[in-house]
Amino acid sequence: MGRGRKGGRGGRGGGGGRGAKRQHSEGGGGDERSVRPRTDAWQTPEQIESNGLFEEYYKEHNVCPPEEWDDFILCLKTPLPITFRINGGGQFADRLREKLETDFMAQFAAGETLMVDGEPAEPPHPLGWYPGGLAWQMSFSRKQLRKAPVLAELHEFMKRENETGSITRQEAVSMVPPLFMDVEPHHWVLDMCAAPGSKTFQLLEMLHGGPAAPTGLIAANDADAMRCNLLAHQTKRMCSPHLVVTNHEAQAWPLLRNLVPGSSERHVLFDRVLCDVPCSGDGTMRKAPDIWRRWSTANGIGLHLTQLRIALRACELLRVGGRMVYSTCTFNPVENEAVVAEVLRRTKGAFELVDGSDHLPDLRRMPGKQRWRVRDRDGWYDSWEEGKKASKLQPSMFPDAASDSLPLHLCMRFLPHHQNTGGFFVAVLKKVGELERPLEMGCAQNRPQQAQPKLAEEAMPAAQEAVPAGQETVPAAARAAEAGAAEVAVTAENGEAAPVEALAAAGPAAIKAEATSGAEVAGAGAEAGALGAVGPAADAAGEDGAADRGAGAGKLAWQRKAEDDVGPGLPEWRTIRGGGVPHTQGGGRYKGVDPVTPYVDADQLAAMRAFYGFAPDSPLPEAMISRSVEQRPKKLYCVGPSVKLLLQLDTKEQLKIIGAGVKILERQDSRDGLVPCLYRFTQEGLPAILPHVTKQRFHPTVDEMLALLQHRSVGLPQGHKLHITKGGAKAAAGQPAAAGPAEPQVDAKGEDVQQEASAPAASAAGQAAQPAAGEAALQPAAAAPTAAAPAGGDKEQAKQPRVTLTDPSTVQQLEGLAMGCCVALLRSEDAAALGFAAESDAAGGLAAAAPLAVACWRGRGSINVLVSKVEGDQMVDKLKHHRAKAAAAAAAHAADKEER
Ligand SMILES: C[S@@+](CC[C@H](N)C(=O)[O-])C[C@H]1O[C@@H](n2cnc3c(N)ncnc32)[C@H](O)[C@@H]1O
């Protein structure tokens, strides 16, 4: 018998339970950077070492009907097929799906097994139960990949789309929990154990599922700091301003005071909470066959309390009427039904299991177990009475008379052999009433992360511990009194009044619209009620925030300005000091974490508005933060209204924030001061910023776009260069050159300044590194028809980039651009003809569905791209591919017409 693979992965990021080492990555999680085919090194089912205890345990629990047992076991010993999801939605997703259907599926005869090299390969096909045909599955080996060109082409396609964030590899059953969350664009969603982020990705898509930008948020959390970075990295591909990444043990995720004027909720609560908890992971055996060898009952026993604590914290963080999904990738009732039953028992009627049987009807599932047994290495126990003599068992692990009456059959268990997937467990719960607090087993809260116990290991003996110090208790009567507080009327982002009912659905409380949009919170007694309503318990929970900040001493002018700008009643939006701020400057509690600072530089904000033409009702550029306390920080991130509100409500700086929003601007120091706006676009921020920007945009032809991306610097025709004079910028043709609102600076002697405004310098990593225009003259000429190479010869011409944009419309548009950052977009007719997303798709959309846009720098006589070479090459590939397809389709159409 072969041994299991060394270092195989599996499990679900265990919280460090005994016998369950911290493990990484759920099977098929979104942490795969590229799509890999099934490995040939996989063992055959006969080679995989069986585990008698595993089989005994699950046979005893009847996890699958006895007649299916052999199929169940055989399936668990066979490799998992490859599954992936098309990201984004709307037209973009439709096009990608069509492409899969026409380019790849069409090449395989329907219903026939594809034999490659004598072995069957499973061609790509959509998973019937996944809505919209957006999830796909296939199975082939590396050897088959080499032998069948169509598979190799498919593999390349998937690699490319994965890198650009258009698809995500994810195990099929791992896609299920978000589908039961019923997320809407205004929801506040907490993903408690989120890394590496495959479900966060799905939740973000759902949040962005409406026609307009979402008003809710996703808070994605993970206890493991390294995995948080991975989570932030993965989700960066989505470019969503509505995401915040935090690093807490989920059972200690802070209960922030809700300081929204007039809100009836005492704490910041969520509409949806996902508890995709760390577990023993035996549902991932198909991906990590070494679990066969390592499996033991101790794994589940060691994780049960952590899972329960996380679920109970979720109960506290969920608002009444909200929905919580509890999921694992284990079959084990101790980690599944036992946790759900205990949650229902302890919440005493405040939670109900939701019947999801009519949802995703094509997805086969088994009902949850009403009864189960607990086993440790010494034997089986049927009840706590029997089990209490065993040292590591807890009462919550057992069914009892109370759990007999719970509808645990509404839980869902997904078995691998039913639809060729991994194994999974999902329970959907609804909060139908306020909690009678304290919950019997409290969750440590409001304590710095460092002070938290290592749960799975240390919590074991403390199952029935009392509520820890610092856990507040809120009598139901107090809540009821607060519920009678003043109503708040809020204007929506578009400036129209929103009905009061809408507020109940709009996050933990009403979102105060941006001051710039003229929207205001107008609540009767709002100001007075807000702070008065929060009570002493919450004050006690905070450690250091209020007192020192109340003094106002030692603040920079811009910090005081930020405080003055605050709307009535809401807490000021101030810096959340991370541990990155030195103690001497009042550094915060979390080591290694940068501060989160609202960007309030009035001069630069005005310059940005004028330069980029932010629409007057746009929340930008004001809704920006930086991760430093510098006055002119290097990077600026855009945050959505709810993320902003969450940050504002963190007055005690309890949140350990790893990432918030999306980087949209970077400082671009202009050596010569010719560019009035200090900040330039980032490529990743374009989907978020484009819908708000009215200036500094141009639409080249497709050939020009290709030339721009390939050569990275293209020239303007002679006579169309910007001519910067003492009095300002002028195009050589004499039109005002729109060099920005401020006068360009001239040199000390007041002479004409003729040199290029400094183009962005090359970064060390070669990312977004562009030569100044003159240097680009050494690039080879493009063969693009509308991008003509100048004759060259004289010194002046030699300094020009060889490729010049000549399309009259492009040239005219470029003349209207000021020197500095700008963005190139396909013309709408070209985008439509080539099958790219239209600009309208980008409104509030995700990167995956954004139009093809390229951040550029307009120099005096040239345009330079600001994207990395790799990214630029990917765009070239994509553009060429789309063009070739469009040409082929047009030719086929013409031939067809002629024939007829
Ligand atoms: C099953 S994985 C989550 C997979 C993730 N939801 C996804 O879809 O990509 C479990 C995660 O829980 C994290 N974790 C372990 N203990 C935790 C705790 N006490 N609080 C929060 N996260 C925890 C692990 O670091 C791991 O990333």
Query: What are the pLDDT digits (tens) for 847-892?
Result: 666 778 999 999 888 999 999 888 888 889 888 988 988 888 888 8
Q: Are 452 and 249 in contact (CB under 8 A)?
A: yes
Residues 758 and 634 in one domain: no
| Residue 753 CB partners (closer than 8 Å, separation 6+) | 672, 674, 724, 725, 744, 745, 746, 747
Asked which of 97-111, 161-175, 256-270, 456-470 is least confident by mean pLDDT, the reply is 456-470
Does pLDDT of 840 surpass 80?
Answer: no
Residue 237, pLDDT score: 82
Least confident of 203-217, 575-589, 709-723, 836-850: 836-850
Helix (H) or strand (E) holding 787: strand 787-788
C-beta of 223 in contact with ligand 1 (< 6 A): yes
Buried b (16+ CB within 10 A) or exposed e, 800-826: bbbbbbbbeebbebbbebbbbbbbbbb
What is the tally of helices (H) and strands (E) in the chain? Answer: 29, 34
Eight-state DSSP code of residue 153: H
Percent of the chain with pLDDT over 70: 69
653 and 726 both lie in a single domain: no
Separation between Cα atoms, residue 602 and residue 590, nearest integer Å: 29
Residue 462 has pLDDT above 70, yes or no: no
**What type of residue is 688?**
A
pLDDT at 680 over 90: yes
Ligand 1 center–CA 195 separation, angstroms: 6
Which of 406, 439, 472 represents a domain boundary (last residue)? 439
Cis status of the peptide bond prior to 448, with omega within 30 of 0: no
Question: Is 731 in the same domain as 802?
Answer: yes
CA 773 to chain centroid: 36
Q: What pLDDT is stored for residue 503 in this prediction?
A: 26
Give the residue carrying structure tokens 């994605």: 220
Question: What local confidence, expressed as pLDDT, does residue 674 receive?
Answer: 77
Statement: residue 292 has pLDDT above 80: yes
Any idea which of 64-68, 69-73, 122-126, 296-300 has the lowest mean pLDDT? 122-126
CATH code where residue 297 lies = 3.40.50.150
Q: What are phi and psi of 343, to 5 degrees?
A: -60, -45
The pairing of strands 188-191 and 270-276 is parallel
Q: Is 35 in the pocket of ligand 1 (CB under 6 A)?
A: no
pLDDT band at residue 210 using 50, 70 and 90 as cut-offs? confident
SS3 16: coil
Spacing, Cα 99 to ligand 1 middle (Å): 34
Of 395, 410, 439, the position where a domain reaches its end is: 439
> Is 594 assigned to a binding site?
no
Distance 431 CA to ligand 1 centre (A): 23
Tokens representing 198 are 């495959």
Q: Is the pLDDT score of 83 beyond 50? A: yes
Strand positions, DSSP E, 415-511: 424-431, 488-491, 497-498
329 tagged catalytic: yes
Instruction: Out of 36-45, 393-402, 585-594, 677-686, pick the least confident.
Output: 36-45
Among 387-401, 587-601, 700-714, the minimum mean pLDDT is found in 587-601
Closest CA to 335 of 282, 292, 288: 282
Ligand 1 centre to CA of 722 (Å) is 54
Residue 837's pLDDT band (boundaries 50, 70, 90)? Answer: confident
Give yes or no: residues 647 and 740 share one domain. no
Q: Is the pLDDT of residue 420 over 70?
A: yes
Query: Does any ligand 1 atom lie closer than 6 A to the CB of residue 222?
Result: yes
Task: Answer whether residue 364 shows pLDDT above 90.
Answer: yes
| Cα radius of gyration (the chain) | 29
Give burial (CB, 10 Å; 0-12/13-18/19+) of 415.
buried
Q: Please check the confidence at residue 125 and state whether its pLDDT lies above 70.
A: yes
> Average pLDDT of 663-681?
86
Find out whether 638 is annotated in a ligand binding site: no
Residues 624 and 703 in one domain: no
- For residues 713 and 579, which has the higher predicted lDDT (pLDDT)? 713
Least Cα distance to 250 among 315, 313, 325, 189 occurs for 313
Of 439, 457, 488, the domain-final residue:
439
Written as one letter, the residue type at 888 is: A
Measured distance between the N- and C-terminal CA atoms of the chain, rounded to whole angstroms:
65
pLDDT higher than threshold 50 for residue 794: no
Q: Is 561 annotated as a binding residue?
A: no
3-state secondary structure of 614: strand
Give the whole-angstrom CA distance, residue 491 versus residue 66.
Answer: 59
Q: Is the CB of 455 under 6 A from ligand 1?
A: yes
- Does residue 489 form part of some domain? no
What does the pLDDT read at residue 167? Answer: 87
748 and 814 in a single domain? The answer is yes
pLDDT band at 110 (very low <50, low <70, confident <90, very high): low
What is the reported pLDDT for 464?
Answer: 26
Q: For ligand 1, atom 12, which residue shows the shortest CA distance? A: 193
Question: What is the DSSP annotation of 661-685?
Answer: SEEEEEE---TT---S--EEE-TTT
**Does pLDDT of 533 surpass 70?**
no
Higher pLDDT, 895 or 48: 895
Burial of 551 (0-12, 13-18, 19+ CB in 10 A): exposed
Residue 356 has pLDDT above 60, yes or no: yes
Q: Is residue 735 part of a domain?
A: yes
- Find out whether 214 is annotated in a ligand binding site: no
Give the predicted TM-score (pTM) of the model: 0.77
**3-class state of residue 303 by DSSP:** helix
Site to substitute for ligand 1 among 193, 237, 457, most atoms within 8 A of C-beta: 193
Query: Would you state the pLDDT for residue 583?
Result: 67
Give domain status of residue 706, yes or no.
yes
- Please indicate whether residue 11, judged by its CB atom, sits closer than 6 Å to ligand 1: no
Token pair of 46, please? Answer: 């006969």
- Report how far ligand 1's centroid is from the alpha carbon of 526 (Å): 39
Please check whether residues 326 and 262 belong to one and the same domain.
yes
Name which of 33-37, 136-140, 181-185, 748-752 the model is least confident about. Answer: 748-752
* Catalytic hit among 75, 239, 275, 329: 329
What is the predicted pLDDT for the residue at 563?
Answer: 41
**Residue 153 located in a structural domain:** no
Note whether 630 and 729 are same-domain residues. no
Question: Are 630 and 764 contained in the same domain?
Answer: no
- Cβ of 656 less than 6 Å from ligand 1: no
Q: 674 and 746 in contact (C-beta within 8 Å)?
A: no
User: In terms of residue numbers, what domain contains 635?
Assistant: 574-667
Reported as a pLDDT band with limits 50, 70 and 90, residue 393 is very high
Region of poorest pLDDT, from 215-224, 488-497, 820-829: 488-497
Name the pairing type of β-strands 804-805 and 722-725: unpaired
pLDDT value, residue 624: 94
Residue 497: pLDDT above 50?
no
Q: Is the CB of 29 under 6 A from ligand 1?
A: yes
Does the pLDDT of residue 161 top 70, yes or no? yes
Domain tally, the chain: 3
CA 853/CA 675 separation, integer angstroms: 22
Q: Which residue has the higher pLDDT, 344 or 568?
A: 344
Domain co-membership, 298 together with 369: yes
- Residue 76 domain-assigned (yes or no): no
Range of lowest pLDDT (367-376, 431-440, 662-671): 431-440
Q: What pLDDT, in 10s, does the model give residues 73-82?
A: 999 999 899 8
User: Do 330 and 401 belong together in one domain?
Assistant: yes
- Confirm whether 579 is domain-assigned: yes
Instruction: Determine if ligand 1 sits within 6 Å of the CB of residue 196.
Output: yes
Three-state secondary structure call for residue 172? helix
For 434-505, list the strands marked E by DSSP: 488-491, 497-498
Query: Is 222 marked within a binding site?
Result: yes
DSSP 1: -
Does 506 appear as a known binding residue? no
Rounded to an integer, what distance in angstroms lies between the CA atom of residue 552 and that of residue 550? 5
CA of 466 relative to ligand 1 center, distance in Å: 26
Asked whether residue 720 is assigned to any structural domain, the reply reads yes
For a mutational test of ligand 1's pocket, the pick from 222, 291, 445, i.e. the residue with the most ligand atoms closer than 8 A to its C-beta, is 222
Identify which of 85, 171, 277, 308 to mutate to test ligand 1's pocket (most ligand atoms within 8 A of the CB): 277
Q: Domain for residue 32, yes or no?
A: no
The yes-or-no verdict on residue 672 having pLDDT over 50 is yes
> 742 and 605 in one domain?
no
What pLDDT sits at residue 109? 66
Quickly state the pLDDT bin for 438 (edges 50, 70, 90): low
